[in-house]
Amino acid sequence: MNKKNNIINQNRHFTKMYNRAKFYNSSELVVYIMENRFSFNRTGIVTSKKIGIAVKRNRARRIIKEAYREIYENLKSGYDVLFVAKKRSVDLKSKDICRSLIYIFNKAHILK
């Protein structure tokens, strides 16, 4: 799951996701989901400076990564998933974000 080629980290990929992917909104985060041509899922996490100082942004990233790791095995493969954290995600626990992700992935029909 956490291999180097499973991460979206190039600007052109982020731009493509913002322009073409379908997005799902919750109070904690926005998730962009788009099919890819691979047999595995690729992920990216965006935490803007609106969230706060670097410590808070890194905490938001860690919480989202952990929540995604917990439900990764239950997802269909072949998707690019981009997480955009909101201010509220910093104050929540991993379980809260996990609950939100399950709701979003269920809505997107990519849960097994």
In a domain, residue 62? The reply is yes
Q: What is the mean pLDDT of the chain?
A: 91
Determine the Cα–Cα distance for residues 58 and 76; give it in Å rounded to an integer: 27
What's the pTM value of the predicted model, to 2 decimals? Answer: 0.90
CATH code: domain of residue 63: 3.30.230.10
Nearest to 104 by CA among 7, 32, 17, 48: 32
In a domain, residue 59? The reply is yes
pLDDT tens-digit readout, 81-96:
999 999 988 889 989 9
Structural domain tally of the chain? 1
112-to-5, 6, 70, 73, 90 alpha-carbon distances in Å: 23, 19, 14, 9, 28
Percent above pLDDT 90 for the chain: 76
> What is the chain's Cα-based Rg?
13
pLDDT for position 6: 83
What domain range includes position 42?
4-107
pLDDT tens-digit readout, 38-72:
899 999 999 999 999 999 999 999 999 999 999 99
In a domain, residue 74? The reply is yes
Q: Assign 25 a pLDDT band (cuts: 50, 70, 90).
A: very high
